[in-house]
């Protein structure tokens, strides 16, 4: 059985711009922090919890309290919900994504888990609104750890527990960011980039799929790595 790990933003749902706008606004509303650098790849860890911790500690000399984190998550989700209510196209699935992922979930050849640098609450909201309905799929998020490698590791362990297997024949992480590629490489996982094949952001790391509409082509990309 092969394990397929899936990122959320930019991989399953087209929400990178929405996420950025809402995160920046929530930082201003909750902490009064403005001028947030939105070049997410410049941060040491590109996860919601790590970026939040870094920005708050830089501004206040100490990290956020659990109560402040909860307030930030609530405000962030509130802004996401409002934005999607006003513009449903703000949270669209990557073409073919819902059907492709459901095919993987239903196949005895694959196990599936979600590994996102976002918080669980916002990730589940976006997946539901985009038509994925993956409540039965193991998920690891920024709620569990601040580093992406730790999140990936937790996702693998949850997939093992669900399938009651000690190991998988192979593990592939499908993501869209350079940080996804680095995390997969550091753990020895195979990597597939979801994005424009013409944009060689990551050199020769992994293979590329534009979207998930051609099931056979995507599966060949995963299997041929």
| pLDDT tens, position by position, 30-83 | 999 999 999 998 999 999 999 999 999 999 999 999 999 999 999 999 999 999
Could you tell me if 209 and 224 are in contact, meaning their C-beta atoms sit under 8 angstroms apart? no
Question: What DSSP designation does 212 have?
Answer: S
| pLDDT tens, position by position, 92-139 | 999 999 999 999 999 999 999 999 999 999 999 999 999 998 888 999
Residue with token string 């099931």: 215
Percent above pLDDT 70 for the chain: 96
Token pair, residue 157, equals 């362990």
**Cα–Cα distance, 23 to 120 (Å, whole number):** 15
């Amino acid at each position: 059985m092969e394990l397929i790990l899936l990122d959320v933003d930019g991989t399953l749902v087209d929400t990178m711009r929405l996420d950025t706008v809402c995160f920046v606004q929530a930082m201003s509303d909750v902490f009064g922090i403005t001028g947030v650098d939105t070049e997410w790849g410049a941060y040491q860890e590109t996860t919601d919890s790590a970026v939040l911790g870094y920005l708050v500690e830089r501004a206040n000399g100490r990290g956020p309290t659990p109560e402040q984190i909860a307030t930030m998550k609530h405000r962030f989700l509130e802004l996401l919900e409002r934005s999607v209510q006003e513009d449903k196209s703000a949270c669209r699935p990557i073409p073919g994504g819902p059907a492709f992922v459901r095919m993987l979930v239903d196949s005895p050849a694959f196990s599936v888990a979600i590994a996102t640098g976002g918080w669980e609450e916002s990730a589940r909201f976006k997946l539901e609104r985009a038509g994925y309905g993956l409540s039965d799929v193991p998920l690891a998020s920024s709620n569990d750890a601040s580093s992406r490698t730790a999140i990936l590791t937790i996702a693998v362990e949850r997939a093992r527990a669900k399938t009651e297997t000690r190991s998988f024949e192979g593990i592939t992480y499908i993501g869209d960011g350079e940080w996804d590629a680095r995390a997969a490489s550091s753990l020895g996982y195979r990597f597939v980039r979801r994005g424009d094949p013409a944009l060689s952001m990551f050199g020769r790391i992994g293979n590329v799929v534009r979207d998930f509409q051609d099931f056979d082509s995507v599966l060949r990309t995963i299997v041929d790595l």
